[in-house]
Amino acid sequence: DAEITQSPRHKITETGRQVTLACHQTWNHNNMFWYRQDLGHGLRLIHYSYGVQDTNKGEVSDGYSVSRSNTEDLPLTLESAASSQTSVYFCASSDPDRNEQFFGPGTRLTVL
Amino acid sequence: GQNIDQPTEMTATEGAIVQINCTYQTSGFNGLFWYQQHAGEAPTFLSYNVLDGLEEKGRFSSFLSRSKGYSYLLLKELQMKDSASYLCAPLSGGSYIPTFGRGTSLIVHP
């Protein structure tokens, strides 16, 4: 069965370190997204991609970057982790014909 | 920009019916999603409305009025497992990306 996975599921890191969160989908979807979810804010869009070599900034992109070298993967990098980036991160993918998003299980990131 | 308004929390009794409302303002409109999210889990798709009216899917139904910028999710025969957060997410015109409201936390009690 097609799926979308994220790794690691939990991560603790220190301020200033570079962190990369992985997202892998086997739906063969062109569209992929990264969100963060915090109490009181709901899901906020960080970056998104409509296909290989395409990346776009979302609502809260500062301090984050993504790259899309193939259809299946969209890794999210925190260049220099800050305590404000402690959050739960969700990756999602969608088929452009349907727009319905399928979410990964999430990564809980703590920056100390 | 977009403005999405839904109640923060609702409570209901097992076996009852509950309606979760959502009002929105978007730049153009391409449809509206409802997602369910259990605590500690990922959101999962419930419904997608593009045209005005009611769409029924088992115990869950979703209604849309484009002219009023209004949608609701109707849950019938509530079960304890329906305790979750329900996210309203409209799609702006020309976009593939829904904007998520803060969600309504539904608590179902015996």
* Interface subset of B 21-40, CB within 8 angstroms of A: 30-31, 33
Lowest mean pLDDT among A11-15, B24-28, B50-54: B24-28
| pLDDT at residue B2 greater than cutoff 70 | no
| pLDDT at residue A15 greater than cutoff 90 | yes
Q: Which segments of chain B are extended strands (E)?
A: 3-5, 9-13, 18-25, 31-37, 44-49, 53-57, 60-65, 70-75, 84-91, 104-109
What pLDDT is recorded for position A1? 83
CB contact under 8 A, A41 and B30: no
Average pLDDT over residues A10-31: 96
CB contact under 8 A, B96 and A96: yes
Rounded CA separation A78/B76 (Å)? 43
> Taking a C-beta distance cutoff of 8 angstroms, is the pair A35, A23 a contact?
no
| pLDDT at residue A31 greater than cutoff 80 | yes
As a whole-number percent, the residues of chain A with pLDDT over 70 amount to 100
Nearest CA in chain A to B104: A42
Average pLDDT over residues A72-76: 98
Nearest CA in chain A to B98: A99
Q: What is the pLDDT of residues B27-85, one digit of tens each?
A: 888 899 999 999 999 999 999 999 999 999 999 999 999 999 999 999 999 999 999 99
Whether B91 has its CB under 8 Å from any CB of chain A: the answer is yes
Rounded CA separation A6/A91 (Å)? 7
